[in-house]
Structure 1
Amino acid sequence: MEKWTASYLFTEVNGKPVCLVCMQHVSVFKEYNIRRHCETQHGEKYDSLQGQLRQEKINELLVGLKKQQSVFTRSREVSDAAVKSSYIIANEIALASKSYYEGEFIKTCMLKAAELVCPEKRQAFANISLTRNTIAERISELSTDLDSQLKHKVKSFLAFSVAIDENTDNTDVAQLAIFIRGVDDTLAVTEEFLELVPMMDTTTAEDIFSSLVCALDRVGVDWSRAVSLATDGAPSMILKKAGVVTKFREKVQAANGGDAFWTFHCILHQEASCCKSLKMDHVIEVVVRTVNFIRARGLNHRQFDCLLSDNKITHGLPYHTEVRWLSRGAVLKRFFELRAEIGQFMETKGKPVMELQSLEWLQDLAFMVDITEHLNNLNKMLQGRKKVVTQYYDSIHAFKLKLTLWETQQGLSFKVRNCACTPSRA
């Protein structure tokens, strides 16, 4: 090729002969074609250049070619970086459950910041496409890629378990959430959200089971490797004769030859049942009624906040939501801390809370504050990804040992009743 460069002003770029003068490619890599191009297109101008002058001109043309190639390379790198940035931002928008329009707002913020921090890089930020349609397309592509990766990963599972939860969204559409967790031959655990299936019509056991089977078949699971199913404990899930659990077990055992199959429900929320079994309705009923009187009416809420502000108290009184039972601990704790202000406010409204004058009732309230706080802490320990059942068992077993310890310390109930209405924080 060096001979052809000196004789015909040609060089090789990506396996193709390129003229240094006009940058045209020659279709056939043969000396006859290269010589013909040089003689007919540039012979009149460059044939007179010989010896040192010709070599200097060739070097000049080679330098120009390298500069042009570097420009294209930098442009391609900038373009690749802009596309990658667009995907990263789209992923963050999806994870934060933000609107697709947020991409344009983010771009505006980035451009204004770039003008102050790095004005020379402003164009690089401007090249990032974050329009609503682009964000929607990026998220769709990311979802498709994740689904493809999951289908590939499922094939390597030696064993897998499934968890399902059926609930109703704010448009009254039942949504079936399906999760899958599997382990491969390297003992690497994969836990992924499989699919959210809208149940537009009925939500019978047969409907849920059919949707579950379709979702698992879509990713190509090996049914003989299923080992367990966890549900939310609804009747349609756990009925012995026609529940989802029964149907699922029959399908799995038909595939694995009758091997053992485990089922669980409410594995993370047994503490909720314990909390309800305390038989402390005489405390909860008073607290909920009082909180609702203050929070349900705008005037009462504003006046109570003014009372707290006058006493230099910055935190207010939260709502209690029965569905989200963890709020019970927060409400009880805040009610206990603000019991003096609540009693004063209810007196001014002509609805005194007589229980606040009872030492025995306040002791029961203090006990409820303590035990619900411990239960909430346990629940938080049981939350999160990448956990296995042994970790749940350790947390629950440790909590049971703590209960035994508190009970043996002269009796937990006696201790609370002698604590002058102050939570023990055992």
Structure 2
Amino acid sequence: MSSNPRKRKIDEEGRVFNESWTFDYFVISHADSALCLICHERIKTLKTFKIKRHYESQHKNYFSLQGDVRSNKISLKKSVSAQQKGKPPIDGEFVKECMIKTVKEICPEKLSLFQNVSLSASTVTKRKEDLSGEVFSTLSEKEHSFQYFSLALDESNDILDTAQLLIFIRGVDKNFQVVEDLCALRSMKDTTTSENLFLEVHQAVNNLDLCWAKLKSVTTDGARNMVGSKTGLLEKICNEVVHGTPPLKFHCIIHQQVLCSKVLKIS
């Protein structure tokens, strides 16, 4: 008979999630593990001391609510996490729900006013279109007076894993008035090569009727398709500036900090 029997694996021990952990340590059951509602870290071992150790070492000093306040906070975070895991809510309905819960606690006598606010999907869409048109119109008027401008580009994936390219612009006029705003947000439905990104940036700049010769710097997240020495997005932008000095190239300091924190384990 073997003296060294096969060790049991964690998933063979039949451990189950204890509902009291949600109130005590801000975790919920998710995919056969515990999901922290504060930092969204998964705790695979369903044991009290593991759950407690994570909470006390990571969050106790910063997140130690008690009583009904703590219970309400957990309920709100569970609602948000559930929405993130499943079908995303309609923005207006979700905001209205949060508003109503807040008003019930702060000024319940005003509850009827908030309940009558229309935030249906069609209403929210219409208001977004109106706001977008107004912002674009205002930005276009200001940018005609730019003496110089710079761009900041960032590409990231949304919850549906669709790449989104954000284009921020900062410009200065002859009176040294600085304007900074979101120039465009482009959904990259297919590939995210440097050529695809350049076409979106080119269209955004041309839509605002800006002169490429006034572009003085471009900041990116340092990805290969952004900074490739021969075919990267930055090179394509520099080639577009045929008149004047090529723009300066910067690596976003926030992205550098994130990269450093992954190596240095900065909490």
Range into which the TM-score falls when normalised by the shorter chain? 0.5 to 0.7
State whether residues 100 and 114 of structure 2, in contact with CA within 8 Å, keep that contact through their aligned partners in structure 1: no
Aligned equivalents of 1:212, 1:133: Cα separation in 2: 30
RCO higher in structure (CA 8 A, sep ≥6): 2
Partner of 2:77: none
Instruction: In structure 2, give the amino acid aligned to 1:101.
Output: E
- The structural deviation recorded for 1:132 is 3.5
After superposition, what is the alpha-carbon deviation per residue over 1:202-242, rounded to whole angstroms, capped at 9, x for unaligned?
A: 22211111111011111221222110111111122212222
State whether residues 110 and 125 of structure 1, in contact with CA within 8 Å, keep that contact through their aligned partners in structure 2: no
Q: Does 1:198 align with 2:181?
A: no
Matches within 5 A, 1:307-386: 328-330=265-267
Partner of 1:37: none
The structure where helix makes up a greater share of residues is: 1
Partner of 2:93: 101
For 1:197, what is the secondary structure of its paired residue?
A: strand
Instruction: In structure 1, give the amino acid aligned to 2:162.
Output: V
For 2:266, what is the secondary structure of its paired residue?
A: helix
For 1:101, what is the secondary structure of its paired residue?
A: helix
State the 4+ residue runs in structure 1 displaced beyond 4 angstroms: 106-116, 124-128, 271-278
After superposition, what is the alpha-carbon deviation per residue over 1:110-151, rounded to whole angstroms, capped at 9, x for unaligned?
A: 9979996479xx6x7677544332232222211211111111
State whether residues 104 and 132 of structure 1, in contact with CA within 8 Å, keep that contact through their aligned partners in structure 2: no
Q: Pick from 243, 251, 254: which aligns with 1:265?
A: 251
Q: TM-score, normalised by structure 2?
A: 0.56
State whether residues 180 and 193 of structure 1, in contact with CA within 8 Å, keep that contact through their aligned partners in structure 2: yes
CA distance 1:229–1:115, shift in 2 (3 Å) = closer
- The structural deviation recorded for 1:263 is 0.8
After superposition, what is the alpha-carbon deviation per residue over 1:256-299, rounded to whole angstroms, capped at 9, x for unaligned?
A: x2325211123334445556777xxxxxxxxxxxxxxxxxxxxx
The structure where strand makes up a greater share of residues is: 2
CA distance 1:229–1:117, shift in 2 (3 Å) = same
Q: Pick from 158, 162, 180: which aligns with 1:169?
A: 158
Partner of 1:237: 226
- The structural deviation recorded for 1:247 is 1.1
Aligned equivalents of 1:250, 1:125: Cα separation in 2: 53
Matched residue count: 179
Aligned equivalents of 2:236, 2:118: Cα separation in 1: 48
For 2:146, what is the secondary structure of its paired residue?
A: coil
Aligned equivalents of 2:229, 2:203: Cα separation in 1: 22
Matches within 5 A, 1:26-425: 99-102=91-94, 105=97, 117=109, 128-252=117-241, 254=242, 257-272=243-258, 328-330=265-267
For 2:254, what is the secondary structure of its paired residue?
A: coil
State whether residues 90 and 121 of structure 2, in contact with CA within 8 Å, keep that contact through their aligned partners in structure 1: no
For 1:220, what is the secondary structure of its paired residue?
A: coil
Partner of 1:44: none
- The structural deviation recorded for 1:160 is 0.6
Say which one has the larger Rg: 1
Aligned equivalents of 2:239, 2:190: Cα separation in 1: 25
After superposition, what is the alpha-carbon deviation per residue over 1:293-352, rounded to whole angstroms, capped at 9, x for unaligned?
A: xxxxxxxxxxxxxxxxxxxxxxxxxxxxxxxxxxx322xxxxxxxxxxxxxxxxxxxxxx
State whether residues 104 and 131 of structure 1, in contact with CA within 8 Å, keep that contact through their aligned partners in structure 2: no
Instruction: In structure 2, give the amino acid aligned to 1:329.
Output: I
The RMSD of aligned alpha carbons is 3.3
For 1:192, what is the secondary structure of its paired residue?
A: strand
- The structural deviation recorded for 1:104 is 5.1
Q: Which runs of 5 or more structure 1 residues have no equivalent in the other structure?
A: 1-96, 279-327, 331-426
CA distance 1:113–1:137, shift in 2 (3 Å) = farther
- The structural deviation recorded for 1:106 is 6.5
CA distance 1:273–1:200, shift in 2 (3 Å) = closer
Aligned equivalents of 2:257, 2:104: Cα separation in 1: 50
State whether residues 216 and 247 of structure 2, in contact with CA within 8 Å, keep that contact through their aligned partners in structure 1: yes
For 1:230, what is the secondary structure of its paired residue?
A: strand
CA distance 1:111–1:233, shift in 2 (3 Å) = closer
Instruction: In structure 2, give the amino acid aligned to 1:263.
Output: K
Partner of 1:350: none
CA distance 1:98–1:180, shift in 2 (3 Å) = farther
Q: Which runs of 5 or more structure 2 residues have no equivalent in the other structure?
A: 1-88
Q: Percent identity?
A: 35
